[in-house]
Every structure is written in structure tokens, then in C-alpha cells.
Amino acid sequence: MHGYDEIALVTARDMPTPDDESQHLISALNARGLRAAMLPWDGDADWSRFRLVVVRSPWDYHLRLPEFLAWTRHVAGRTRLLNPAGLIEWNSHKRYLGELARAGIAVVPTWLAVAGSADAQAQLAACGWADVVVKPAVSIGAWGALHARADDAACSAHLAALLRDGDALIQPFMPAIERDGEMSLVFFGGRYSHAVRKLPRQGDFRCQDHHGGTVAPHAPEQDEFDLARAALAATPEPAVFARVDMIRGDDGPRLIELEVIEPALFFAQSAPGTRMFAELLARLARAGRDG
């Protein structure tokens, strides 16, 4: 055994909120005779000690993306990284939404504004949407997202500020978010596990808990399953774990995000889902050990 730990769950050194969710997973792994440790991605760990390195809560990666992506390649060269480094890089910039749309996936309409674009107001006008959400193309947890009228000077100023540092997305505001929230479907090894509905607090459009959002179990409609599976089938390589976020429009569900880097997996809402993921990781860890 060479003193191996089985699984590393990757977090960040400075966390804005605790990663309570991973404790559910650690308990489930321990119950299956597997050792698991939580470690910051930018620490001095010897990642080759682990049979699996599972990215869970590196909630600062969007602020240090080149460094983080270099870390994923480093780890992938020494052990098995989940999800794979190439898939993480693909998912780290939201230009992937355009790729999925071109592949025929029903995505919330998205305009990519490229860093350095000189005229933010012209970018907003070109989209043709009166009520918009503007956000960085590399972000997590609605960081940097603004809902505003496209002709509002504050909206133009916000977009201009984002474009000084990187690319940005412009999307039409979907009023259903305030009424119905987002539906999130969770998959492990390509198999459906469970789903939740995330609702924003009154007067907000952001569904994350740190913005006051709430979560409840959700029973997906067939067209939601269809959209989720189509999106997962269009990724450049299979995801070991994934969360597919969507909202219902007038023409059915539309993809908001496909999360395969560090998605919340809502283990508190699904003990069976926690067990399902733990069993999958146990099989992968033991396959690596036996190999």
C-alpha cells in the first residue's frame, strides 16, 4: 500500500464559507473503508500519494485561473484527477455555452464580449436585448453578475470594467428565474442521481445560498432530463460528476450552466446521492489500487 491515502478532496486555502458538503462525502467514504483528506489545491501536498484527487471546492480558482489550470495538469500527470484536466479547462471559460448552442443544445441566449472591446455600449446594443444579465466569462457563484437595463449607464460601465480584465457574457434576463428559480440535475458516472430547485430571495435573481437563495428537492420533467443528457453527451470528454443547471423558458428548459469543476452537489438534500457518489469513487479508487 506504500502508505497511500485513497482520496484527496480539493478545496481552497481561504474559504469564503465552509465546505460543509464534503463532510457528508468523507463520512460516506469512511463507511466504505476509504481514507479521504481535504487539502487546498495550492498547498504543498504530494498529490501522487492519492489514488484519486477529486476537485470539490477550490472557490478561488476563477481569480487565479492560469495557476489553477497549471495545477490540474500537474496533478493529472501524477495520479487520476476528477474531473479530468482537459474537461476542467474547457468548462472554466463560459465560451463553452456557445459551443453547446452550436451543437444544438438549448442554451440561454449568450453574447460573448471579448476582453479589450472598446465600446461596451455598442456591445450591449448589438445583442438586441433590453433587459440583460452581464457577468464575467470566468466566474463562480454569480460573482460579478449584474441584472440591469441594457441602456442603463451603470450596465455599460459594469461591462466596460469586466472587459478590462477578461471576457464577459451578456444574456437576456429570464423573468422565470424569479418565479421558478433554477433546476439543477446531478449526475455521477453519467447516471442521474438527484435534482434540486434553487430559488432566489425576493427581489434578487441569484439563487446561490450566499446570496440568500434557498434549495428544495425537485422532480425533473422529461424534457429536463433530455436537456441534461444532451448537454453531457456534448462535452469533450465524459464527466465523472456533473451538475446541469437550467431554467424553463416559454419554449421549454434552457441550459444556464454545465458545472463540472466544483459544483455544489446538494448532498444534504440527498443521502442516496451521497452514497451513489461515494460508491463510484470507491470503485475508481479500488480499480487504481488493484491495477
Whether 165 and 180 share a structural domain: no
Establish if 206 belongs to a structural domain: yes
Whether 143 and 193 share a structural domain: no
As for how many domains the chain has, the answer is: 3
* Domain end residue (candidates: 151, 172, 193): 172
Distance CA 7, CA 35 (A): 6
pLDDT tens by residue, 24-40: 999 999 999 999 999 99
Establish if 10 belongs to a structural domain: yes
pLDDT tens by residue, 122-131: 888 888 898 9
Distance CA 278, CA 291 (A): 20
Percentage with pLDDT > 90 across the chain = 66
Q: Mapping DSSP to helix (H, G, I), strand (E, B) and coil, where does residue 166 land?
A: coil
Q: Which residue shows C-alpha cell 434549495?
A: 215
Secondary structure of 239-282 in HEC code, one letter for each residue: CCEEEEEEEEECCEEEEEEEECCCCCCCHHHCHHHHHHHHHHHH
- Please return the burial class of 161, using the count of CB atoms within 10 Å of its CB with bins 0-12, 13-18 and 19+: middle
* Residue (of 17, 14, 15, 13) closest to 210 by Cα position: 17
Q: What is the CATH number of the domain that holds 204?
A: 3.30.470.20
Distance CA 86, CA 77 (A): 12
Mean pLDDT of 244-258: 93
Q: What is the CATH number of the domain that holds 151?
A: 3.30.1490
Q: Mapping DSSP to helix (H, G, I), strand (E, B) and coil, where does residue 111 land?
A: strand
Q: Which three cell numbers stand for residue 290?
A: 488493484
Q: Which three cell numbers stand for residue 122?
A: 455598442
pLDDT tens by residue, 152-194: 899 999 999 999 889 999 999 888 887 888 999 999 999 999 9
The whole domain housing 233 covers 176-260
195, containing H or E segment? strand 191-199
Establish if 105 belongs to a structural domain: no
Establish if 166 belongs to a structural domain: yes
Whether 121 and 144 share a structural domain: yes
* Domain end residue (candidates: 157, 172, 187): 172
Whether 197 and 225 share a structural domain: yes
Whether 138 and 152 share a structural domain: yes
pTM of the shown model: 0.91
Establish if 90 belongs to a structural domain: no
